[in-house]
Structure 1
Amino acid sequence: MTTIREVARYAGVSKTTVSHALSGRRPVAEKTKAKIAQVIEELGYHPNSAAQSLATKRTGILGMVYPLPELSGSDRSVVEFIFSAADKMASFGYKFLLLTMAYEETQELLRVVRGGHVDGLILMDVRLEDERVRLLLEEGFPFVMIGRCKRNAGLDYVDIDATSAIYEGTKHLIDLGHKHIVFIGISPWDFGYTHRGLLGYRRALREAGLPYDKTLVKACPSAEGYGRKLMKELLGDGRHFSAVITCGDLIAADVMSMLHEEGVRVPGDISLISFGDSPLCSLTIPPLTALTIHAREMSEIAVDMLVRKLRGERLRQHQVLLRPELIVRETTGPMSHSG
């Protein structure tokens, strides 16, 4: 199997340069990146093949790395991602290990990798520039991402098309007559859904001939209470808007709670859409209009890809991008005359 050393040799660069080009962690000249990409394509290289060919001792355990301090306070789709992955791993005869280490805990991740605690990993909540990806590439350790980095040559991932999702949601609101729409992403700003979702939001505004108002673009953690706080600030600042689209169903539920508390009717006064369609969206009053993220399907695809890599099997697809679906419920409606 092709190794990262062979890619480096054929490209005439160092192994470190190849790792930097793949992870995007360090600057690499565009000409050099183009040469590396060409060699990767010609050799059919995928970063973890070396680890697969050398692995002689298996633990029968697969890990999922979720950088969350408190699972209980996070977005409800998290539960679906976790349980779906565990179920799929069990169907292949693997045990499931959840690793909730923070992004910055790279030494702890390194300890897990070098200690032989798991056979492979699924990375969640991938950032555009993700140190964990660089580390795993350098270690030659088998992994699959649910999400994408800024640069993804040679990487294996499954993701939802967040740009299309937020575009479709924003366009739905515009079609209902809304012109001043709040976008609430998940912080930090280099989180993939937020970055790519904002692109879709701006595209929908641009196509409709509507101005981009950066004061209506916000981000907050996807944990209980933050959406309430942010919406209270927006209402208190007297900003003019008639609709809100959020990256995350928990943020959306928080936003709706604060709107109800302030006597704002949903959707009578303000329409609301969630990017994320966990069971929570059907339980709110009124039920949330939402964009699907296909959490179960993404987890199952990621596990299938990882297991095939460990078996040394050829993957049908190394990069899978799923299309979202807009589920119209009861929190979106025509803009009121007062909006």
Structure 2
Amino acid sequence: MNLKTLASHLGLSQTTVSRALNGYTDVSLATRNRVAEAAKNFGYRPNVNARRLATGRSSVIGIAFPTDMNMFLDPHFIEFLAGLSEKASQLDYDIMISSSQNDEVDVYRRFAEKGTVDLVILSNVDLSEERIRLLQDLNIPFIVHGRTATCDTYSYIDINNYSVFHDPTKMLLELGHEKIAILNGHPDRVYAIERFHGWQDALNERGITPNPDYVRSGVMSEENGYSFAMEVLQLGERPTALLCSSVIMAKGAYKACSDLDIKVGSDISILAHDDSVPLANATEMDPPLTVTRSPLRDAGREIAIMAMKYLKGTDIKELQCLWQPELIFRKSVAAPPRDDI
């Protein structure tokens, strides 16, 4: 079935049917629903090239990254991409992932020159905001997975990364812990900076001076979790609790504790932020890991929905989402050993 036949069946103009299928709000919701239902029943799918000519859109969402930063080896990125791709497909959109040998600037300029994507997703934002300014200059629609200081000027989805470390640190302090170390993400990433401030402020609120020896930062990998934990656990004044930026890092910390004959949940408490990455199931760790939880796959799905709203003209202020992480208490956390109280 083609557009002309579908329009004839519905008793509507081809223009009305086309605009209804593309979600234009100048077509009533009742008509949009009626057209969508008929298209589904008759198995109609619009011609991609014709739709692009009619709407000026490619039905493609773009993601870019430099080749020296292989995101396909990062389980956090893969989980986010899975949610984004899943929902985008349901919304009849494709994902284009493009890499550059130098940096992402070349890719964004190519997107702008060729019009190959309708919208760009940014992630792993840092304090420089260079990519954000470039996309604004190029007039390319974009949504950020994360935030920077100027987040009021663009659409984003993020979690409250300050709370990700502030709330667990506060809980540990209430249990009697004072020597709390953090195994954080890359130090120039905004999320890691916010988490550091959350930990720092929670200690300061209790009159405890944060110990710089208890801070480790880097890529959120199991290898770094292991090496960072080995370092802080062999300090002269060993911490009684570790706060990790991801469950994957916590897996490395668990292994370090095992190698040093330190029992998690009694000799030391460990918490982590849980992005719900399949490779690191917090409930299957021994003992089960206490976490702050906010699934990355859900964030990917939500960004796909936000992208469609953005392209239909929804105001930027309505597309600024800040999710609160959920704190889930399990057996990896307890009061500090008596000798440390």
* Band of TM-score, shorter chain: 0.7 to 0.9
Q: Which moved more, 1:135-144 or 1:78-87?
A: 78-87
Q: Give the match for residue 90 of structure 1.
A: 89
Shift of 1:318: 2.8
For residues 83-132 of structure 1, the C-alpha deviation after alignment (integer angstroms, 9 at most, x for no partner) is: 11111111211012334668943223322343323211111111122321
> What amino acid is aligned across from residue 140 of structure 1 in structure 2?
N
> What amino acid is aligned across from residue 286 of structure 1 in structure 2?
P
Q: Structure 1: 5+ residue runs without aligned partners?
A: 1-54
Shift of 1:287: 1.8
Q: Where do residues 226-265 of structure 1 align in structure 2 (5 Å cutoff)?
A: 226-265=224-263
Distance 1:245 1:57 in 2: 48
> What amino acid is aligned across from residue 328 of structure 2 in structure 1?
I
Q: Give the match for residue 289 of structure 1.
A: 290
Shift of 1:71: 4.0
Shift of 1:158: 1.0
Shift of 1:274: 0.5
Distance 1:102 1:288 in 2: 39
**Matching of residue 179 in structure 1 with residue 181 in structure 2:** no
Distance 2:218 2:269 in 1: 19
Distance 1:106 1:238, change over 3 A: farther
Distance 1:313 1:153, change over 3 A: closer
Q: Give the match for residue 12 of structure 1.
A: none
For residues 157-201 of structure 1, the C-alpha deviation after alignment (integer angstroms, 9 at most, x for no partner) is: 1110011121111111112211100012111x2211111111111
Distance 1:198 1:168, change over 3 A: same
What RMSD in Å do the two structures reach over aligned CA positions? 2.4
Shift of 1:307: 1.3
Please list every run of at least 4 consecutive aligned residues from structure 1 whose deviation after the TM superposition is greater than 6 angstroms: none
Q: Which moved more, 1:109-118 or 1:298-307?
A: 109-118
Distance 1:237 1:104, change over 3 A: farther
For residues 124-144 of structure 1, the C-alpha deviation after alignment (integer angstroms, 9 at most, x for no partner) is: 111122321111111010110
Distance 1:324 1:317 in 2: 20
Distance 1:101 1:245 in 2: 35
Aligned residues: 284
Q: Give the match for residue 69 of structure 1.
A: 69
Aligned 8 A contact 1:193 1:247 in 2 = no
Distance 1:100 1:324 in 2: 31
Distance 1:318 1:303, change over 3 A: same
For residues 302-339 of structure 1, the C-alpha deviation after alignment (integer angstroms, 9 at most, x for no partner) is: 22221112222446713211111101122111111234
Q: Give the match for residue 157 of structure 2.
A: 158
Aligned 8 A contact 1:69 1:100 in 2 = no
Distance 2:91 2:237 in 1: 52
Q: Give the match for residue 21 of structure 1.
A: none
For residues 241-272 of structure 1, the C-alpha deviation after alignment (integer angstroms, 9 at most, x for no partner) is: 10011112211111111111221110111111
Shift of 1:237: 3.6
**Matching of residue 310 in structure 1 with residue 311 in structure 2:** yes
Distance 1:156 1:240 in 2: 43
Distance 1:135 1:70 in 2: 22
> What amino acid is aligned across from residue 210 of structure 1 in structure 2?
I
Aligned 8 A contact 1:289 1:327 in 2 = yes
Say which SS state the counterpart of residue 291 (structure 1) adopts. Answer: strand
Shift of 1:300: 2.5
Aligned 8 A contact 2:152 2:317 in 1 = no
Distance 1:73 1:268, change over 3 A: farther
Aligned 8 A contact 2:180 2:242 in 1 = yes
Q: Where do residues 102-117 of structure 1 align in structure 2 (5 Å cutoff)?
A: 104-117=103-116
> What amino acid is aligned across from residue 254 of structure 1 in structure 2?
G
Distance 1:294 1:236, change over 3 A: same
Q: Which moved more, 1:222-231 or 1:259-268?
A: 222-231
Shift of 1:277: 4.0
Shift of 1:239: 3.8
Distance 1:231 1:102 in 2: 34
- Percent identity, aligned pairs only? 27
- The structure that has the greater radius of gyration is 2
Distance 1:64 1:299 in 2: 12
Q: Give the match for residue 300 of structure 1.
A: 301
Q: Give the match for residue 38 of structure 2.
A: none
Q: Where do residues 214-233 of structure 1 align in structure 2 (5 Å cutoff)?
A: 214-233=212-231
Q: Give the match for residue 147 of structure 2.
A: 148
Say which SS state the counterpart of residue 225 (structure 1) adopts. Answer: helix
TM-score, reference length from structure 1:
0.77
The one of the two structures with greater contact order (alpha-carbon pairs below 8 A, sep at least 6) is 1
